[in-house]
Structure 1
Amino acid sequence: MNYRLALMIFLQFFTWGTWYGQITKYLAVRLDASGQQQGAVFATFSLAMLVAPFFVGFVSDRYFSAQRVLAVLALAGSALLFLLPGISDPAVFFGYMLVYCLTFTPTLALTTRIAMYHLAAPERQYPGVRIWGTVAWILVSNLIGYLHAGTSPVLFQIGGTASLLLGLFAWTLPDTPPATSAPVSWRHLAGVDAFALLSKPGYGLFFAASVLICLPLSFYYAMANPALTDGGLPNVESTMSLGQVSEAGFLLLLPLAYRKLGVKGTLVIALVAWTVRFLCFASGNVALFYPGILLHGICYDFFFVTGQLYTDRQAGPAIKTQAQSLLTFATYGVGMGLGSLLSGRMKDVFTAGGTTQWAYFWLVPAGVSAVILCFFLFTRFPESHE
């Protein structure tokens, strides 16, 4: 069973990894898009997160098996990815990308729900399944680097093919039935049941930190590729995949950290790593770019995967999908949406005569990360050692 769940995660992250880290550079080179336009297109992912996951979470919680919904969305997304290379207007590209993201973003909660449902001990077994998403990201990043496809239509053709395979494979997954057959209520449709988690001691603080840390996270995902390219880092796509290699290693260490340090301790380590990595990038020293990239494992695993496990524990059986959707809403929706727009704006602010002052650019997310770290350190977190 676990190998099938691992393949599901692999195909999902392979699709995601084809375009997510490269799209701003593609827009700048192919469509001559400004920083604000790049940030706006990158924000379509977050805009979709504000709507789609809750709706699809409601559907899969009430009416349809999660793997069926996943299959339909992946097939629709595949068709849209194949259409993107034919678009040359940034405004039109924005519209198509928004529609695509409306098909992709719900799959993040769906695959988590499917995996958690079929694993006997999610807190122990899920990292071993989730690691295949990291492996997929490493492979596709190196493939794109090898093909020099970072600014090529091949980018979306690879993603479309992977999404097609995911859609077909999803039909073969074991059944993950709706969790409840209770009558439809406006509370469930609006996600009110999931928002009730915010009243639990500790979860409200985690939710707030999740939103805030995604402001600097967007700076990394949206602008690291062009920034490190300008900074002289060789073979950027392949080199940045070292972050996913680090992610794989720290994912294996996560169960130990989660058990020994608790939720708060694990999250604090992640926040320290976020601050340090941005200072490495701000240095402008190519030698320090490498540790900045390698810190990605701690930054991502110790915050976001910990959050998925914490959310699964806090949520009741009837709202697990919506609870994961609440988490993705907070992080990839609200936080990264604002962060994407801010990163694009900051790029334009620090650009003059076609040259971007990346050192000043990276000090912005470094400062935000440091403030969040201080906020988290000095706030009581009563459930840090569940």
Structure 2
Amino acid sequence: MNTTIRIKLSLMMFLQFFIKGSWFVTVGTFLIKNLQASGTQVGLTFMAQSIGAILPPFLIGLLADRYIAAQRLLCILHIIGGILLWCAGSTDVFGNFYIIILLYMMVYMPTMALINTISFRQMNNPDKEFPPIRVFGTLGWVVAGLIIGYTAWEQSGQLPNTFKMAALASGGMAVMTFFLPATPPLKRGGQVSLGDTLGLDALRLLKDRSYLVFFLASIALCIPLAFYYSFTNPFFNEIGVKSAAGIQAMGQVSELLFMLLMPFFFVRLGVKYMLGLGMLGWAIRYALFRLGYLSGSEWPLIAGILIHGICFDFFFVTGQIYTNNKAGDQFKNAAQGLITLATYGVGMMLGSVLAGFIVDANVTEDGFHHWETIWMVPSLIAGLVLVLFLFLFKTQKTTNLPTKS
């Protein structure tokens, strides 16, 4: 790949995840402390991400496949997103905040598929070329967390600043899109079927048994995933962990390392066991959180954060590459929208509802929580998903992932 293009794609990844990392990690704490929200309301807020991931990515994927260059769509969505983020940081009423975040997620979530499409279009061998570029997204998330930790916005009640920082970065991303490689639609002209119009081409992937198992496992694994994103930061702050957002950023440092090692693991493990290790990581992570809470020790909490590279890279990044290679050139955008729908859409929606319910059901009389019970639930779910996946998913151990469904 051309060095200039590699740098541009890397900067795109950095900004994309810096934006989300600027506010997403601490939003649970912001809601509880600044807006006096309940666990259910925190869950509803994270469910807004799921709503934004269900329909918009399919529609935006359709536009990118047929009508509008992907980088132009990315620009438009980030301009709108920046305005909404600034408004989110300026409200102190939960109802208003929720509406703004819901609208924001409907424009942000499609950009997750677009950045993958822009990247994959420039690559001949995504298995090896994608991880070193995607790693800069993780770096962006780390930098955002370190800024929040350094400024002590969590402790000083200044978390509204996180949204404004994200809004400025979103504006910067919109400018950056003018320098990205042109990624025009692949399908122009000709007769358009109803399936094309609705962006349903990607559903053909589900005819393949292994991909169907992966798709369903992605939905199921995102149920425990929702517990992490919704309540890790409130959990750390409640039990007195200092600079919680900064410590959580250590997880992205782990993600950086494992992202760089992914080509090495692809060769030796193949898709099935890469995905399986990712699932195992989530089960172990929550067991470590539970152990840390019960023992009063901080090392299990830090260990649970440090295995984030295995949890995220081995399952979600591997899944994106697997989906890209399965789809082929005909409907890559719609395919990325499909996996976004499965993970951040359906799975996270179910998980956000369950997590909010479990947290509210384990509130103590003095306003604290029975975290040992809360963390046991996602650990058991992740373990069950792992067992079923290993039994049902059939594929050869190879780095040459199939290109057709």
Moved more, 23-32 or 187-196: 187-196
Q: Cα distance, 1:259 vs. partner?
A: 2.1
Query: What does 1:110-149 correspond to in 2, within 5 Å?
Result: 110-149=114-153
Matching of residue 370 in structure 1 with residue 383 in structure 2: yes
Task: Render the CA deviation track for 1:53-87: whole Å, top value 9, x for unaligned.
Answer: 00100011110100000001011100111111222
Matches within 5 A, 1:267-278: 267-278=275-286
User: Equivalents in 1 of 2:89, 2:243: separation in Å?
Assistant: 23
Of 32, 37, 51, the residue aligned with 2:55 is 51
Structure 2: which amino acid aligns with 1:83?
C
Provide the rounded CA distance (Å) in 1 between the counterparts of 2:396 and 2:73: 34
Cα distance between partner residues in 2 of 1:380 and 1:367: 20
Is it true that 1:86 corresponds to 2:90 in the alignment?
yes
CA shift at 1:383, angstroms?
Answer: 4.2
One-letter identity of the residue aligned with 2:232 = A
Q: Distance in 1 between matches of 2:240 and 2:284?
A: 20
Q: Which moved more, 1:83-92 or 1:154-163?
A: 83-92
Instruction: Look up the SS of the partner of 2:221 in the other structure.
Output: helix
Structure 1 residue matching 2:153: 3-state secondary structure: coil
Is 1:42 the counterpart of 2:50 in the alignment? no
Query: Equivalent residue of 1:298, what SS?
Result: helix
1:162 aligns with 2:169: yes
Structure 1 contact 75–168 (Cα < 8 Å) conserved? no
CA drift of 1:380 comes to 4.2
| Match 2:300 to one of 280, 288, 311 | 288
Q: Deviations over 1:171-210 (max 9, x none)?
A: 2212101010143332123332101101113111111110
The TM-score with structure 2 as length reference comes to 0.93
Query: 1:323: how far off?
Result: 0.3
- Matching of residue 97 in structure 1 with residue 101 in structure 2: yes
1:352 Cα offset (Å) = 2.4
Deviating more after overlay: 180-189 vs 362-371? 180-189
Q: Which runs of 4+ in 1 moved over 6 A?
A: none
Aligned AA (2:22): T
Contact 1:202 1:383 in 2 (8 A): no
Letter in 2 for 1:342: L
Pairwise CA distance, 1:25: 0.7
Mapped pair 1:382 → 2:390: no
Structure 1 residues not aligned, in runs of 5+:
none
Contact 2:152 2:243 in 1 (8 A): no
Change (3 A) 1:63 1:175: same
Check if 1:300 corresponds to 2:312. Answer: yes
Separation in 2, partners of 1:359, 1:183: 58
Q: Which whole-Å CA distance do the structure 1 matches of 2:307 and 2:315 have between them?
A: 12
1:360 aligned to 2:380? no
Distance in structure 1 (CA, Å) of the matches to 2:6 and 2:31: 38
Alignment of 1:230 onto 2:238:
yes
The AA in structure 1 aligned to 2:340 is T
1:233 to partner: Cα distance: 2.2
Q: Do residues 243 (structure 1) and 256 (structure 2) align?
A: no
**Equivalent in the alignment of 1:342:** 354
Q: Structure 1: which amino acid aligns with 2:173?
A: L
Query: Is the CA contact (8 Å cut-off) linking 1:23 and 1:42 kept in structure 2?
Result: no
Judge conservation of contact 2:70–2:185 (CA < 8 Å) in 1.
yes
Structure 1 equivalent of residue 323 of structure 2: 311
Distance 1:384 1:189, change over 3 A: farther
Aligned pair 1:185/2:193, yes or no?
A: yes
Return the alpha-carbon distance in structure 1 between the equivalents of residues 391 and 114 of structure 2: 35
Give the TM-score normalised by structure 1: 0.98
Task: Give the conservation status (yes or no) of the 8 Å contact 1:201–1:383.
Answer: no
Shift of residue 115 of structure 1?
A: 0.4
In structure 1, distance between residues paired with 2:350 and 2:300: 28
| Contact residue 139 and residue 252 of structure 2 kept, 8 A | yes
More displaced 10-residue stretch of structure 1: 56-65 or 146-155: 146-155
**8 Å Cα contact 2:71-2:118 kept in structure 1:** yes
CA distance in 2, matches of 1:56, 1:238: 34
Give 3-state SS (helix, strand or coil) of 1:352's partner. Answer: coil
The root-mean-square deviation of aligned C-alpha atoms, in Å, is 1.2
Tell me the CA shift for residue 260 of structure 1: 1.6
The one-letter code sitting in structure 2 at the alignment partner of 1:234 is: K
Cα shift at 1:270: 1.2
| Amino acid aligned to 2:299 | A
In the alignment, the residues of structure 1 paired with residue 246 and residue 167 of structure 2 have an alpha-carbon distance, to the nearest angstrom, of 21
Q: Does residue 19 in structure 1 map to residue 23 in structure 2?
A: yes
Cα offset for 1:384? 4.6
Deviation, 1:255, is 1.2
Q: Which residue of 2 aligns with 1:351?
A: 363
* 1:323 is aligned to 2:323: no
Alignment of 1:252-267 (within 5 A): 252-267=260-275
Q: Which residue of 1 aligns with 2:212?
A: 204
Displacement after TM superposition at 1:123 (Å): 1.4
SS in 1 for 2:37: coil
Amino acid in structure 1 at the alignment position of 2:327: A
Q: Which consecutive unaligned segments of at least 5 residues does structure 2 have?
A: none
- Map of 1:173 onto structure 2: 180
- 1:7 aligned residue (8, 11, 14): 11
